[in-house]
A and B are shown apart, each in its own frame.
Chain A
Amino acid sequence: EVALHAHDEL
Chain B
Amino acid sequence: MNIFRFLGDMSHILSFLLLLHKIVGGKSAAGISLRTAEMYAIVFCTRYIDLLWNFASLYNYLLKLLFIGASLTIVYFMRYGPSQKATYNADEDAFPVQYLIAPCAVLGVLINQDHSSPFEMVWAFSIYLEAVAILPQLFLLQKQGEVENLTSHYVFALGAYRALYLLNWMFRFMTEPDYQQRIVWLSGLVQTALYCDFFYHYYQSKKGGLNKSVKLP
B55 interface residue (CB < 8 Å to A): no
What is the bound-complex CA distance between A8 and B60, given in angstroms? Answer: 8
What is the bound-complex CA distance between A6 and B57, given in angstroms? Answer: 12
Tally inter-chain residue pairs, CB-CB below 8 A. 26
Residue among A3, A5, A8 with max Cβ neighbours from chain B (10 Å): A5
B50 interface residue (CB < 8 Å to A): yes
B160 to chain A, nearest CB (A): 15
Q: Which of A1-10 contact B (CB under 8 A)?
A: 3-10
Question: Do B67 and A7 touch (CB < 8 A)?
Answer: no
Determine which of A4, A9, A10 lies in contact with B178 in the assembled complex, contact meaning CB atoms within 8 Å: A4
B113 interface residue (CB < 8 Å to A): yes
Residues of B at under 8 Å CB distance from A?
A: 5, 9, 12, 50, 54, 56-57, 60, 63-64, 67, 113-114, 123, 165, 168, 178-181, 184
